[in-house]
Chain A
Amino acid sequence: AQRVTQPEKLLSVFKGAPVELKCNYSYSGSPELFWYVQYSRQRLQLLLRHISRESIKGFTADLNKGETSFHLKKPFAQEEDSAMYYCALKLSGNTPLVFGKGTRLSVIA
């Protein structure tokens, strides 16, 4: 069965410091990987997906198939980045998302 692991429940960083939210997955095939974000009092929304290879709000994530990781990175954290971040995996096609437990990012001014 597919599994997504986010080892940190809470990550606190100072404004301007680099951020790395860790995500590891277990699946023998080629899944699609995503990062979802939930800001305070807002709904869960897609931040980025590995197939897009794009940077959203300064965040990037590289899929490392050898290490089965999809860590989320940002070089300089901003206060508005404070939110709950979920890493998720899905197989190809119309299949459901498998989520990790989430990491709460707190950016301190």
Chain B
Amino acid sequence: ETGVTQSPTHLIKTRGQQVTLRCSSQSGHNTVSWYQQALGQGPQFIFQYYREEENGRGNFPPRFSGLQFPNYSSELNVNALELDDSALYLCASSLTGSRNEQFFGPGTRLTVL
């Protein structure tokens, strides 16, 4: 059984640029959730995808968008990067209808200069 993987591991961008982060869910999982973890904070929910549709969204602006593909992998896109977007971005996958335990990936560390 393959766990949740994320790419890239680290990324450095400048303000105003756009970034795409990728996540491969655990085998058999159909739901992907994205979280932002700023330094010294707990993970904060961005949005969730289930069967290729957005299935819930946290308090993040529209420049944060996502996709889920038929194989349940997912992308997080952030446009017009701001300095405050610097954070660890975590992807978690789960299987709807089970105990809904979320399994986390290792994260992508984004630095915006």
Contact = CB atoms under 8 A, between A and B. Distances in A.
Contacts, number: 54
B56 A46 contact: no
A90 to B, nearest CB: 8
Contact of A94 (B4, B45, B50): B50
Contact of B33 (A44, A49, A96): A96
Interface stretch (A58-66, A70-78, A99-107): A99-107
For the side of the interface on A, what is the size category?
20 to 34
Contact of A44 (B31, B90, B94): B90
Contact of B43 (A6, A45, A86, A93): A86
Interface in B31-47: 31, 33, 35, 40-45
Interface string B42-83: 111100101000011010000000000000000000000000
Nearest to A102: B42
Interface in A83-100: 86, 88, 90, 93-100
A16 B102 CA distance: 32
A102 B106 CA distance: 17
A97 B35 CA distance: 9
Interface size class of B (residues with CB under 8 A): 20 to 34
B100 A44 contact: no
A102 B92 CA distance: 18
Main SS of the interface on chain A?
A: loop
Contacts of A97: 33, 35, 43, 45, 92, 102
Given A44-B104, A99-B44, 17 more contacts: A4-B42, A43-B104, A43-B107, A44-B43, A44-B90, A45-B104, A49-B101, A86-B43, A88-B42, A94-B55, A96-B35, A97-B45, A97-B92, A98-B45, A99-B35, A100-B42, A102-B41
Interface of B: 4, 31, 33, 35, 40-45, 48, 50, 55-56, 58, 90, 92, 94, 96, 99-107
Interface of A: 4, 6, 9, 43-46, 49, 86, 88, 90, 93-102
